[in-house]
Chain A
Amino acid sequence: MNRNIHQLEAIANELRCLALRAIYLAGSGHPGGSLSAAEIVTALYFSVLNIDPACPDWPERDRVVLSKGHGCPILYAALAKRGYFPLEELWTLRKLGSRLQGHPDMRKTPGIDATTGSLGQGISVAVGMALGGKFQGKSYRVYAIMGCGEQQEGQVWEAAMSAAHYCLDNLVGIVDYNTLQIDGCNAEIMEIAPLSDKWRAFGWHVLEVNGHDIAQLLDAFAEAKNTRGKPTAIIARTIKGKGVSFMENQVKWHSSILTKEHFEQAMTELGCDGYFAAACKETSHV
């Protein structure tokens, strides 16, 4: 897809609005980690991935595993925007009978490649997908988006070791390094730094980028594609709650309820005031 950086930035902004509205209407969810991953998800779904929304199970498609499954609102927004399902379905997030579960469910949601939510597990599933691709001579690539708190799970490092062992250069691990987790900042809960050194020591090609800079992300994905013999880890420096002033770098917005006031201010800051105006009136009682 040939979109310029400005178009991609606009899409990232739109995904933020969609994700926040879904969380607002759901009455629960994880805004902070959805907003921090907006550019990563945008770069993948609107530029990098070889996918066909009309055929979500296409065997040759690139795969995305949202290992930090709680960030799924931003992923659902991207899938809806790409046409996997109607935009209106976003407003059913976390509600009974919805195809959009609180954490990604590959059996319910078109376009979701792996069921995730229990931290540390998605990266292992991504390793299996990449290994299966290599074994069957397929050329698809696998992208696993991890959280920074998730790096504390031992399974991440079991998976990292195995990906390097099997020389999975069709696998890219992205760490949404926003430095915050539920109970506080990484450094006070359990330090994960020096993160790049860790991934390098586990045999991965490591790139550090500003995770809100689409151009840097696209360059990193391109470099990963040209890297042979080892998987690539992209350590994406991000800001939790990015784009909404009162959420940025605030631990409490890992998972917090948005009031109508919060939501409206966020929309104003994101320049999406008019975007949902009509629909918001209808559903403001929610």
Chain B
Amino acid sequence: MSEKIPNNRVAYGKALVSVGETRPNVVVLEADLGKGTQTVLFRERFPERYFPVGIAEGNMMGVAAGLATTGLVPFASTFCVFASMRAVEQFRNSIAYPRLNVKVVATNAGIEIGPDGATHQAIEDIAIMRAIPNVTVLVPSDPVMTMKLIPMVADSMGPVYVRIGRQDTPYLYDESTLHLEFGKAVLAREGYDVTIIAIGNMVCRSLAAAEILEREGISARVLDMFSIKPLDSDAIVQAARETGCIVTAEDHNILGGLGGAVAEVLSAELPVPLVRVGVQDTFAESGDGEAVLRAYGLTAERIAEAARIAMARRDGLRRT
């Protein structure tokens, strides 16, 4: 990639355009948030394939379902809050249940969106979407991954929910070496003392946490669990076996999201100490994005601390 892409939204918009160039059956629906979700880039390039539905997310899901029955591949975009909650029953009954080929790509995930406040901070969408059968749930962490993921989403069959953040984000991966497969975690950093499993904007913070820990002589593995469903249970169990304790990090409620999903696997397969970093079952508030993340404990320092706690619990168990 020649020019630097500032965030995952712009990466989505650009990926959508490139998908549109080679796939004439891809169409885009938007509920008056095209500037936020960056589908405007597709509108500029393919206006005839861009269908605004107005501020009507429920109808958008139904129209997308109908379009999908005709062989088209609709990408429907809005903010995560509206895609996963305002229109979830339409998504469930009109799209997921009949396994229609609709791709819902929602942006402005989590509390990092900051100033807009709790009404617009989706902290429940992963929990909701992964509880619906037939749905693939993906959370890309950097623009390189997003650019690579969107064409895979376009070529997949069936309903997909992609969760994308709003804020600018650093590049974590190299385009030539990043290998993506649904249901396979990306090893962002190898380590042997503790494993941090992270998604989205918390992957770069987990990598920063791993550096903090390294200075203390702790070797932390970082798994980018971009594929929430299907989930890479094997990687989780392997991490439990090899490092004996796990931290999860997500810009989402700790209930039902990544932390919940990892807890389900561990409790069934190989129980080890788990510390979940995320929104602690509370609504957040307005503020600068970074300030809000700090105020609610979504920082590299907090992840590092969680790792120390997880290791201490593991070692306590081993002693007894």
Contact = CB atoms under 8 A, between A and B. Distances in A.
A162 B64 contact: no
B72 A135 contact: yes
Contacts of B27: 135
A120 B94 CA distance: 11
A115 B98 contact: yes
B56 interface: yes
B36 interface: no
B94 A158 contact: no
B62 interface: yes
B94 A123 contact: no
B69 A132 contact: yes
Contacts of A133: 70
A124 B98 contact: no
B33 to A, nearest CB: 16
B185 interface: no
Contacts, number: 109
Given A135-B72, A158-B56, A158-B58, A128 B65 contact: yes
Nearest to A117: B93
A217 interface: no
Interface residues of B, number: 29
Nearest to B25: A136
A125 B27 CA distance: 15
A103 B63 CA distance: 20
Taking each of A114, A135, A158, which has the highest tally of chain B beta carbons within 10 Å of its own beta carbon?
A: A158
A127 B70 contact: no
Contact of B70 (A115, A117, A120, A136): A136
Dominant secondary structure of chain B at its interface with chain A: helix
Taking each of B61, B62, B89, which has the highest tally of chain A beta carbons within 10 Å of its own beta carbon?
A: B62
Given A105-B98, A107-B98, A131-B51, A124 B58 contact: yes
Given A107-B98, A118-B93, A162-B53, A127 B66 contact: yes
Nearest to B29: A128
B70 A114 contact: no
B133 interface: no
A159 B62 contact: yes
Contacts of B70: 59, 128-129, 132-133, 136, 138
Interface size class of A (residues with CB under 8 A): 35 or more
A216 interface: no
Contacts of B97: 105, 115
B96 to A, nearest CB: 10
B167 interface: no
Nearest to B69: A129
A155 B63 contact: no
B54 interface: yes
Nearest to B92: A118
A155 B58 CA distance: 7
A161 B65 contact: no
Contact of A162 (B63, B65, B72, B94): B63
Interface string B48-92: 110101101011011111111111101000000000000001100
Contacts of A135: 27, 48-49, 67, 72
B99 interface: yes
A258 to B, nearest CB: 27
A124 B59 contact: yes
Contacts of B94: 115, 118, 121, 124-125
A114 B66 contact: yes
B187 to A, nearest CB: 37
Interface of B: 27, 48-49, 51, 53-54, 56, 58-59, 61-72, 74, 89-90, 93-94, 97-99
Interface of A: 59, 63, 105-107, 113-115, 117-118, 120-133, 135-136, 138, 154-155, 158-159, 161-162, 165-166
Given A107-B98, A129-B67, 13 more contacts: A120-B58, A122-B62, A125-B65, A127-B66, A128-B68, A128-B69, A132-B70, A132-B72, A155-B90, A158-B53, A158-B54, A158-B59, A159-B59
Return the 10 tightest CB-CB contacts between A and B, nearest first: A128-B66, A124-B62, A132-B70, A158-B59, A158-B56, A115-B98, A128-B63, A129-B66, A125-B66, A128-B67
